[in-house]
């Protein structure tokens, strides 16, 4: 039976939780904020980790992430400012800058480095880890890199702008990154002051908003309108339609969604598998030079 329009409107994805990141240090000493993958939010299936970095102090980022391995999932780097060079053992290499994306599928194993390609100035961006299903964790590594000029810009009434990195918007704009295993939607959205942003998301997906520039208002499942401020991550509850209201100022945020895998997750540093013995195997394979 077709759902009546009235009921569809009720299927709003309201906020279920708001998470604050915690300070962390990773790589060779990069100062960052860990939002997913910390005690308050160990994961949001299929997302295993979300780090945000934003600093104009070279000592916070200059050490970068020298060569290190990964197996079993994908690392996604999106830069808002600065330049970052990726290089890996499968022969992929590239530099991205503001608005560029590096989407690396580690699969059965890869060694990569992620180093700032700058000695001063602002470096700002995100790294997201997206899990792979058990049957694809040992696939060959893959790498998708796109500069800002590859990323389509959808413009809507009221001056709303969406940069579509992955997935498809309700208006049919499709991003260049393709991953059918988790069907990720990765949008960078700008909403001018006083405007309302409305978007439908696949009901089966887990989804979150990460505020880059706030504040914006979203209705919480408790019935109250909640103010999301800069650096808040808002987890969206069940439903279809997300609505966000910009207040007196322009806002910018990431809207990210993905199909949950519902599988057991075993973590061991840079490896994410389904069982502990697969993690032990990953360390052994890496030590034996099998990556
Ligand atoms: Mn890495």
- Domain residues for the domain of 106 are 5-287
Residue in 67, 2, 84, 53 with CA at minimum distance from that of residue 231: 53
Q: What's the pLDDT score for residue 29?
A: 92
pTM greater than 0.75 (yes/no): yes
For residue 70, how far is its CA from the centre of ligand 1 (angstroms)? Answer: 7
Each residue's pLDDT, cut to its tens digit, for the chain (291 residues) gives 455 555 545 589 999 999 999 999 999 999 999 999 999 999 999 999 999 999 999 999 999 999 999 999 999 999 999 999 999 999 999 999 999 999 999 999 999 999 999 999 999 999 999 999 999 999 999 999 999 999 999 999 999 999 999 999 999 999 999 999 999 999 999 999 999 999 999 999 999 999 999 999 999 999 999 999 999 999 999 999 999 999 999 999 999 999 999 999 999 999 999 999 999 999 999 999 998
Query: What number of other Cβ atoms are within 10 A of residue 48's Cβ?
Result: 21
32 CA distance to ligand 1 middle (Å) = 14
CA distance linking residue 193 with residue 252, whole number of Å: 11
- Measure 38 CA to ligand 1 centroid, in angstroms: 17
In this structure, what CATH number is given to the domain that contains residue 181? 2.60.120.10
Distance 51 CA to ligand 1 centre (A): 11
User: What integer pLDDT is reported at residue 110 of this predicted model?
Assistant: 97
Domain count of the fold of the chain: 1
């Amino acid at each position: 039976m077709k759902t009546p329009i009235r009921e569809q409107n009720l299927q709003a994805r309201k906020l279920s939780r708001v998470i604050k990141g915690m300070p962390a240090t990773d790589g060779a000493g990069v100062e960052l904020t860990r939002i997913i993958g910390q005690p308050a939010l160990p994961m949001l299936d299929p997302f295993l980790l979300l780090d945000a970095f934003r600093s104009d102090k070279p000592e916070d980022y200059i050490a970068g992430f020298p060569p290190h391995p990964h197996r079993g999932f994908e690392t996604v780097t999106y830069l808002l400012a600065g330049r970052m060079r990726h290089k890996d053992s499968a022969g992929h290499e590239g530099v991205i800058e503001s608005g560029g994306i590096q989407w690396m599928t580690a699969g059965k194993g890869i060694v990569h480095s992620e180093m700032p390609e700058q000695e001063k100035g602002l470096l700002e961006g995100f790294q997201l880890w997206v899990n792979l299903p058990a049957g694809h964790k040992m696939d060959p590594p893959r790498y998708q890199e796109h500069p800002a000029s590859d990323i389509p810009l959808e413009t809507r009434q009221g001056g709303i702008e969406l940069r579509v990195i992955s997935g498809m918007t309700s208006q049919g704009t499709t991003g260049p990154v393709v991953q059918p295993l988790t069907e990720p939607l990765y949008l960078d959205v700008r909403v001018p002051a006083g405007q309302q942003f409305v978007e439908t998301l696949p009901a089966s997906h887990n989804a979150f908003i990460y505020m880059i520039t706030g504040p914006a208002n979203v209705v919480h499942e408790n019935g109250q309108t909640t103010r999301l401020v800069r650096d808040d991550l808002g987890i969206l509850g069940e439903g279809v339609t997300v609505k966000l209201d910009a207040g007196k100022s322009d806002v910018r945020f990431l809207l990210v969604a993905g199909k949950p895998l519902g599988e057991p997750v075993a973590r061991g540093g840079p490896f994410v598998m389904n069982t502990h013995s697969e993690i032990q195997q990953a360390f052994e394979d890496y030590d034996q030079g099998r990556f």
